[in-house]
Amino acid sequence: MPDEHQLDPASLGDHIDRLYRAAWSMCGSREEAEDLVQETFARVLVKPRLVRNSDDLGYLLRVLRNTFVSGRRAAARRPLTTPLPDDLSAIEDRSAPSPEASIEAGELYAAIAALPDPFRDALVAVDVMGLSYREASRALRVREATLTTRVHRARGRVADALGL
């Protein structure tokens, strides 16, 4: 039987940056990413969780992904609303070193968010969250060879979308 331990709620803050980047890649929006990470933490903190093999980050990635998918499914069942004008998205990102970097980061995350789910999930796990291929394959429950192929193809699609 695999080694199991209880997820320590105090250690969740150690993973917030990586989860935020993963969420931003999934959503394509900083605001939605913040909401997604908050919802993920809320779900995890509702009841004690047992995690196998000290894989807190892999478990949190699965919860983040499931929360994202559940939210999209729920949103698809709701009536559509009129979006805000595009000019409101020009809010300054004070954490960005320059306006160009902010625009480039937004384009990158939008390109990642536009990928088909299997490619996006693989790219987020490996390149955004920094999981090893083995950790990512376990977290996404796919073979490591499948994950490697998906990451390669996702990188190519992102590069094409960005004109690189």
Residue 163, phi-psi category: left (phi > 0), alpha (psi -120 to 50), beta (remainder)? left
Q: Which of 40-44, 57-61, 88-92, 128-132 has the lowest mean pLDDT?
A: 88-92
pLDDT band at 28 (very low <50, low <70, confident <90, very high): confident
pLDDT score for 100: 63
- pLDDT band for position 142 (cuts 50, 70, 90): very high
Instruction: Give dist(CA 61, CA 15) in Å, integer.
Output: 10
Encode pLDDT of 103-130 as tens digits: 677 788 888 889 999 999 999 899 888 8
Superfamily name with CATH number, domain 4-80+99-161:
PhyR, sigma-like (SL) domain (1.20.140.160)
139 versus 85: the higher-pLDDT residue is 139
Structure tokens at 72: 């999209």
CA-to-CA separations, 114 to 13, 94, 110, 128, in angstroms, rounded: 28, 25, 6, 15
